[in-house]
Amino acid sequence: MRVVIFGAPGVGKGTQAKLLSGKLKVPHISTGDILRHAATSGSLLGKKAKTIMDAGQLVSDDIMNGLIKPVLSSPKCKDGFILDGYPRTVAQAAALTKLLDDLKTRLDKVINVKLGDEEIVRRLSMRLSCKNCGRIYNIQFDMLADTKECLNCGGPLYQRDDDKEETVRKRLNVYHETTAPVKEYYEQMGLLKEIDGDGDPEMINSEILTALQFS
Ligand code: AMP
């Protein structure tokens, strides 16, 4: 199963991709996680990426296409993958089509998770992520101890720098201007399926699984 989970920042792409990855037994590939990992490692690419990410902007297509190619070509992705955060521009979508053509395969489905901007701003201001395992929490709904440790691995929970309201609004502008046109690209390929992102994550995941089964 080769799937793209698409949508604005904060619609729950990461949560949905993680759930699907566990159920379908294919790797979850998050370009945001790859960049954040590079940033913590202190590499030159990581440092550059962090400045761009903290400003709510997009890392260049060349860098992103170069970054994703070895991952999707690797043996771990040979039976499928759940892509989260890529492609984010029409040029990246075209590069992905070309890469999959070269690998003699294609996408099965692109799931567009929909949510209104104000709900996104509200959600992201309450989001905490685990520094170790990447699990995502909601300050309001998840029962977290004052120590703010991950319930999964005990790792420290933190608010991403780019989840501050001002940066979230910039990321939403970038999404509407540059990323949203990717939907039409996949609509024309007959791959797009829209899912409402407002609701219980497990219920949304069942809807996605149903959409994938009937693809
Ligand atoms: P995410 O975790 O998917 O929200 O990504 C966090 C940030 O990483 C984004 O706001 C971008 O700055 C950068 N990023 C992740 N994926 C891409 C991509 N495909 N193209 C450009 N920038 C990206």
**Residue 127 designated active-site:** yes
**Residue 106 designated active-site:** no
CA distance readout (Å), 109 to 2, 5, 212: 7, 9, 7
Pick the catalytic residue: 69, 114, 148, 160? 160
Report whether 201 contacts 208 (CB < 8 A). Answer: no
Distance 58 CA to ligand 1 centre (A): 6
**Residue 131 designated active-site:** no
Region 135-158: mean pLDDT is: 87
The verdict on the CB of residue 32 being under 6 Å from ligand 1 is yes
Does any domain span residue 159?
A: no
Model confidence at 203: pLDDT above 90: yes
In this prediction, residue 214 carries a pLDDT of: 65
Report whether 149 contacts 133 (CB < 8 A). Answer: no
pLDDT greater at residue 214 or residue 122: 122
Residue of minimum CA distance from atom 8 in ligand 1 = 32
Does any domain span residue 126?
A: no
Distance 27 CA to ligand 1 centre (A): 18
Domain containing 90 equals: 2-115+177-210
Does any domain span residue 145?
A: no
- Extract the runs of DSSP E, i.e. beta strands, from 26-107: 28-30, 81-84
Distance 211 CA to ligand 1 centre (A): 25
pLDDT greater at residue 71 or residue 214: 71
In this prediction, residue 147 carries a pLDDT of: 76
Q: What is the pTM of this model?
A: 0.91
Distance (Å, whole) CA 61 – CA 95:
9
The verdict on the CB of residue 124 being under 6 Å from ligand 1 is no
* Number of domains forming the structure of the chain: 1
pLDDT confidence band for 23 (50 / 70 / 90): very high
Distance (Å, whole) CA 178 – CA 44:
26
**Residue 78 designated active-site:** no
The verdict on the CB of residue 10 being under 6 Å from ligand 1 is no
The verdict on the CB of residue 58 being under 6 Å from ligand 1 is yes
In the sheet that holds 28-30, the strands lie side by side as: 28-30, 81-84, 2-6, 109-114, 192-196
Does any domain span residue 130?
A: no
Does any domain span residue 121?
A: no
In this prediction, residue 215 carries a pLDDT of: 54
CA distance readout (Å), 175 to 26, 85, 88, 172: 27, 11, 8, 5
Q: Please say whether the dihedral angle defined by the alpha carbons of residues 76, 81, 87 and 93, taken in this order, is positive or negative.
A: positive
The verdict on the CB of residue 197 being under 6 Å from ligand 1 is no
212 CB-near residues (< 8 Å, 6+ apart)? 1, 3, 24, 108, 109, 111
User: What percentage of the chain reaches a pLDDT higher than 70?
Assistant: 99
Does any domain span residue 164?
A: no
Residue of minimum CA distance from atom 6 in ligand 1 = 32
Does any domain span residue 47?
A: yes
CATH number, residue 81: 3.40.50.300
CA distance readout (Å), 91 to 59, 62, 121: 13, 9, 27
Does any domain span residue 199?
A: yes
Model confidence at 145: pLDDT above 80: no
